[in-house]
């Protein structure tokens, strides 16, 4: 889950342990002041009656690690991100202290917190089926007679491969979140838990010298067969059963991840284990000379020795004039790239979730409702993130506009869902388009494709990239060797006139994607009969920075215009094909015009 998505939080559901009155008062006052709805439940109570899945919800736990684990049990199945506030004495999971609660929540609401996706473990055994974030423990049951055998034997298989017989106190299958103390007791490694999706099989008090912990993928199916009585516990007893001889336990990674919110007010992982587990390669407080600031996000570098990139830059400069900007303007655009990228990726999450529901719906009206909801959710996330980071900038979107609040020359142009028709029919060809305009000139473009996780970016005068790698157009100059993409073509004139002349004409249904595929050499030319500004603002920057030539249907340079009433035709190509395209396009338009007038 992207932390920027938390900026649209509507409500907080808090799980409250006893003796948390003071932090609860703080939380109540903060939510009232922030206009966020607050619902509280006691530890162990269900939230089914108060949770509304249509609202953007943040889960908060007020207590120690036990309360935090109850929160995971409650919030993770509903994919609710969770912030843990430590009101206990020794907490390893809940890391926000009560005195930092308000500041931590402000950071969350501004979309500046991070969300760790924590691996969970799933277990299925006689008498229990459960999920946990820490571990599954299978331990020997103490005998009634103290002189009886005090060990247990467990056969273990990883998928279809026999691992061996473990003889000792028992075994633990732990996640990176819950593995630290158990792993240390068996001379195993310390797992850094952030976005670490593995499982670890840890022998407990083994009677063989060479036995060590084993790390497996979450897809690995561990089968554990008890050769004697044993006690099985999940997350310290939140689920429990007694195993008999021959019982089989199946353990694997859970499909559902736990989303743990982390702020700058949390103790970091290595600070926590230094304080609580005696990690002695550093002090609890990091010395000033050892601290590192998070690196500033910048666009991927352009290799100055690459002649092809140099020629692209030259083509752009000759077409656009002097593209130099002041250091301040350059810094704004670099920062805007980070914000736009994170906003688009955060908006992609609800789009993917809702897109997955489309195929199970039979009625057209219901599919349209899902597309409308997707559009709304994505637009809200992007506009909220931009408002938080650039409140002085204007915002121009298919969903609405916001005037500049100050003297800024910058305006954002957003299409939260380009390719709505595709989306509503379960087609993966849709995208999110975010652009920044300086005066009337697009200077930054970000296009994100949720279903393929592709990210296209471009900065005027600096280049264009796909997933961080530089891109450029093709260099084909023969129409009969070229692949073309058509946007809206109302009478089919472009298709009919170019289909036989080229290697094919494709229609994808997303203008932003069309321009990005032109930029990344997946097509040689693009035609759009008419466009809105939000359709092409971001793709225009990306395509031109990749070396594309973009004109209107008569060959004049395409000029970006905020005027929503005027829809403009657009012809884009790798440059080499442009003369032939204009010639054939002109003939086709004339033929279409004569056909229309003769009716």
Helix (H) or strand (E) holding 269: helix 269-277
Q: What is the DSSP string of 560-582?
A: ----TT--EEEEEE-STTHHHHH
Residue 398 annotated as lining a ligand binding site: yes
Whether 552 and 454 have beta carbons less than 8 Å apart is answered as no
* Whole-number pLDDT of residue 516: 97
With cut-offs at 50, 70 and 90, classify the pLDDT of residue 405: low
Q: For residue 302, give the nearest of 538, 512, 545 by alpha carbon.
A: 545
66 marked as binding residue: yes
Q: How many domains does the chain have?
A: 4
Question: Which residues, in sequence order, are bridge partners of residue 375?
Answer: none
Q: How confident is the model at residue 358 (pLDDT cuts 50, 70, 90)?
A: low
Both 145 and 217 in one domain: the answer is yes
Instruction: List the structure tokens of 471.
Output: 């891109």
Question: CA dist 73 to 27, 55, 239, 371, 522, Å?
Answer: 22, 20, 11, 31, 46
Provide the token pair at 366: 């219901």
Q: What is the DSSP string of 324-383?
A: ---HHHHHHHHHHHHHHHHHHHHHHHHHHHHHHHHTT---HHHHHHHHHHHHHHHHHHHH
| DSSP H/E element including 544 | helix 533-545
pTM beyond 0.75: yes
DSSP conformation letters of 400-414: EEE--SSS--EEEEE
Whether residue 272 lies inside any domain: the answer is: no
How far is residue 488's CA from residue 473's CA, in Å, rounded to a whole number?
22
Q: Is 561 annotated as a binding residue?
A: no
Residue 324 falls in which region: left (phi positive, over 0), alpha (psi -120 to 50) or beta: beta
> Residue 267's pLDDT is what?
79
We report the CATH number of the domain holding residue 549 as 3.40.190.80
Identify the domain containing residue 568 by its residue range: 479-597
Q: What is the pLDDT of residue 404?
A: 57
**336 or 481, which is more confident:** 336
* 102 and 217 part of one domain: no
65 is in an annotated binding site: yes
Give the tens place of pLDDT for each residue, 193-211: 888 999 999 998 877 777 8
- Section 126-140 average pLDDT: 94
22: domain CATH number is: 3.40.50.10330
For residue 587, being part of any structural domain is answered with yes
Catalytic residue among 21, 42, 49, 65: 65
Given this model, what pLDDT does residue 313 score? Answer: 38
**Claim to verify: residue 153 and residue 39 sit in the same structural domain:** no
Judgement on whether residues 434 and 464 belong to the same structural domain of the protein: yes
Residue 65 appears among annotated catalytic residues: yes
Q: Is 574 annotated as a binding residue?
A: no
The answer on 136 and 92 residing in a single domain is: no
pLDDT in tens, 579-588: 888 887 766 5
Residue 344: inside a domain:
yes
49 is in an annotated binding site: no
Q: Is 418 marked as binding a ligand? A: yes
Q: How confident is the model over 139-151, as pLDDT tens digits?
A: 988 776 666 666 8
Contacts 24+ apart (CB under 8 A), 28-34: 30/101, 30/102, 30/105, 34/105, 34/109
- Do both 103 and 184 map to the same domain? no
d(CA 157, CA 490): 61
The pair of three-digit structure tokens given for residue 488, joined into one six-digit string: 């809206």
393 and 354 share one domain = yes
CA angle 362, 368, 372 (to 5 degrees): 145
The residue-averaged pLDDT of 422-439 equals: 93
Q: Residue 339: inside a domain, yes or no?
A: yes
What is d(CA 154, CA 424) in angstroms, rounded to the nearest whole number?
A: 51
Give the chain's mean pLDDT.
85
Q: Name the token pair of 347.
A: 């908006």
Q: Would you state the structure tokens that stand for residue 308, as one six-digit string?
A: 């092809």
Other Cβ atoms within 10 Å of 374 Cβ, number: 26
Higher pLDDT, 278 or 346: 346
Calculate ∠ Cα 293-295-298, nearest 5°. 155
The more confidently predicted of residues 94 and 61 is 61
How far apart are alpha carbons 58 and 82 in whole angstroms? 6
**Which of 423, 401, 430 has its CA nearest to residue 414?**
401
Single out the residue in 441, 470, 499 at which a domain terminates.
470
Percent of the chain at pLDDT above 70?
A: 85
Express each pLDDT in 274-319 by its tens digit. Answer: 887 788 788 878 877 777 655 444 333 333 333 333 443 344 344 4
Q: What does the block give as tokens for 265? A: 């007010």
Evaluate whether 220 touches 159 at the Cβ level (below 8 Å). Answer: yes
High-pLDDT (> 90) share of the chain, %: 57
- Whether residue 366 sits in one domain with residue 220: no
Q: pLDDT tens, 528-566?
A: 888 888 889 999 999 999 999 999 988 999 999 876 566
Helices 533-545 and 511-519, packing angle to 10 deg? 0
Judgement on whether residues 461 and 488 belong to the same structural domain of the protein? no
* Ranges 17-26, 133-142, 476-485, 505-514, most confident: 17-26
Q: Which sign, positive or negative, has the C-alpha torsion 368, 370, 373, 378?
A: negative
CA 542 to the chain's CA centroid: 22
**Mean pLDDT confidence for 114-129:** 95
Residues 6+ apart with CB under 8 A from 431: 418, 419, 447, 448, 449, 450, 510, 512, 513, 516
CB burial readout 527-551, b (16+ within 10 A) else e? bbbebbbbbbbbbbbbbbbbbbbbb
Of the residues 253, 277, 296, the one at which a domain ends:
253
Distance CA(412)–CA(394), nearest Å, equals 6
Taking phi first (over 0 means left), then psi (-120 to 50 degrees means alpha), and beta for anything else, what does residue 299 get?
beta
| Residue 587: predicted pLDDT | 61
Closest CA to 111 of 337, 387, 379: 387
| Contact in structure between 455 and 345 (CB atoms under 8 Å) | yes
CATH of residue 347's domain is: 3.30.540.10
Shared-domain flag, residues 102 and 135: no
Tokens of 335: 């920062």
Judge whether 276 lies within some domain.
no
**Which domain-ending residue is among 421, 445, 470?**
470
d(CA 525, CA 36): 49
Beta carbons of 493 and 592 less than 8 angstroms apart? yes
* Residue 363 banded pLDDT, cuts 50, 70, 90: very low
pLDDT (average), residues 160-183: 90
What integer is the mean pLDDT of 222-243?
Answer: 93
Count other C-beta atoms under 10 Å from residue 148's C-beta. Answer: 8
Residues 506 and 590 occupy one common structural domain = yes
Lowest mean pLDDT among 77-91, 388-402, 427-441: 388-402
Q: Does 415 belong to an annotated binding site?
A: yes
With beta carbons less than 8 A apart as the criterion, state whether 355 and 361 touch. Answer: no
Grouping H, G, I as helix, E, B as strand and the rest as coil, residue 483 is coil
SS3 at position 453: coil
The answer to whether residue 86 scores a pLDDT higher than 60 is yes
- DSSP 8-state code for residue 168: E
Segment 21-41 shows an average pLDDT of 96
Residue 318 lies in a domain: yes
Q: Do 107 and 132 reside in the same domain of the chain?
A: no
Residue 267 lies in a domain: no
Q: Is the pLDDT of residue 502 over 80?
A: no
Residue 54 phi/psi, 5-degree rounding, is -80, -10
Q: What is the CATH number of the domain that holds 141?
A: 2.60.200.30
**Residue 233 pLDDT > 90, yes or no?**
yes
Residues 6+ positions from 279 with CB-CB distance below 8 Å: 190, 270, 273
Q: Is residue 273 part of a domain?
A: no
């Amino acid at each position: 889950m992207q932390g920027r998505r938390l900026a649209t939080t509507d409500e907080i559901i808090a799980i409250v342990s006893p003796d948390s009155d003071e932090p609860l008062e703080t939380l109540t006052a903060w939510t009232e002041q922030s206009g966020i709805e607050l619902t509280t439940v006691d530890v162990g109570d269900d939230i089914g009656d108060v949770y509304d899945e249509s609202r953007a919800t943040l889960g908060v736990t007020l207590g120690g690690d036990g309360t935090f684990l109850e929160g995971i049990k409650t919030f993770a199945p509903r994919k609710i991100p969770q912030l843990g506030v430590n009101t206990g004495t020794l907490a390893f999971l809940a890391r926000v202290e009560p005195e930092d609660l308000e500041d931590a929540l402000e950071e969350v609401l501004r979309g500046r917190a991070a969300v760790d996706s924590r691996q969970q473990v799933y277990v299925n055994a006689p008498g229990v089926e459960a999920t946990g974030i820490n571990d599954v423990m299978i331990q020997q049951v103490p005998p009634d007679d103290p002189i009886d055998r005090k060990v247990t034997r467990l056969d273990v298989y990883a998928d279809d491969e026999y691992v061996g017989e473990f003889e000792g106190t028992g075994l633990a299958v732990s996640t990176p979140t819950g593995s630290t103390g158990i792993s240390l007791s068996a001379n195993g490694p310390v797992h850094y838990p952030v976005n670490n999706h593995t499982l670890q099989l840890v022998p407990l008090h083994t009677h063989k010298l060479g036995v060590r912990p084993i790390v497996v993928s979450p897809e690995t199916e561990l089968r554990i067969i008890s050769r004697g009585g044993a006690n099985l516990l999940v997350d310290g007893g939140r689920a429990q059963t007694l195993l008999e001889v021959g019982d089989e336990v199946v353990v694997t990674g859970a499909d559902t991840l736990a989303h743990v919110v982390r702020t700058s007010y949390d103790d970091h992982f290595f600070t926590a284990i230094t304080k609580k587990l005696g990690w002695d390669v550093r002090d609890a407080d990091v010395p000033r000379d050892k601290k590192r600031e998070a690196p500033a996000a910048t666009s991927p570098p352009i290799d100055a020795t690459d002649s092809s990139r140099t020629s692209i830059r030259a083509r752009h400069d000759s077409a656009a004039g002097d593209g130099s900007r002041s250091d301040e303007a350059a810094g704004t655009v670099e920062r805007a790239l980070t914000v736009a990228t994170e906003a688009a990726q955060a908006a992609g999450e609800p789009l993917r979730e809702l897109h997955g529901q489309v195929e199970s719906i039979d009625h057209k009206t219901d599919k349209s409702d899902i597309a409308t909801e997707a559009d709304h959710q994505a637009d809200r996330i992007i506009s909220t993130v931009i408002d938080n980071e650039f409140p002085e900038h204007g915002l121009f979107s298919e969903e609405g506009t916001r005037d500049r609040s100050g003297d800024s020359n910058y305006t954002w142009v957003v299409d939260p869902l380009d390719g709505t028709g595709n989306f509503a029919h379960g087609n993966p060809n849709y995208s999110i388009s975010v652009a920044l305009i300086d005066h009337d000139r697009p200077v930054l473009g970000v296009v994100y494709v949720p279903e393929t996780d592709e990210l296209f970016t471009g900065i005027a005068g600096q280049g264009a990239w796909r997933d961080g790698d530089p891109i450029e157009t093709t260099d084909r100059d023969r129409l009969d060797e070229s692949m073309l993409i058509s946007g809206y073509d109302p009478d089919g004139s472009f298709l009919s006139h170019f289909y036989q002349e080229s290697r094919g004409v494709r229609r994808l249904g997303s203008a932003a994607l069309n321009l990005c595929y032109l930029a990344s050499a997946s097509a040689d030319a693009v035609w759009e009969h008419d466009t809105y500004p939000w359709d092409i603002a971001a793709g225009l920057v990306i395509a031109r920075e990749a070396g594309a030539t973009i004109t209107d249907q008569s060959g004049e340079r395409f000029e970006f215009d905020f005027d929503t009433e005027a829809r403009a035709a657009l012809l884009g190509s790798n440059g080499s094909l442009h003369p032939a395209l204009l010639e054939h396009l002109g003939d086709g338009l004339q033929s279409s015009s004569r056909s229309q007038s003769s009716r």
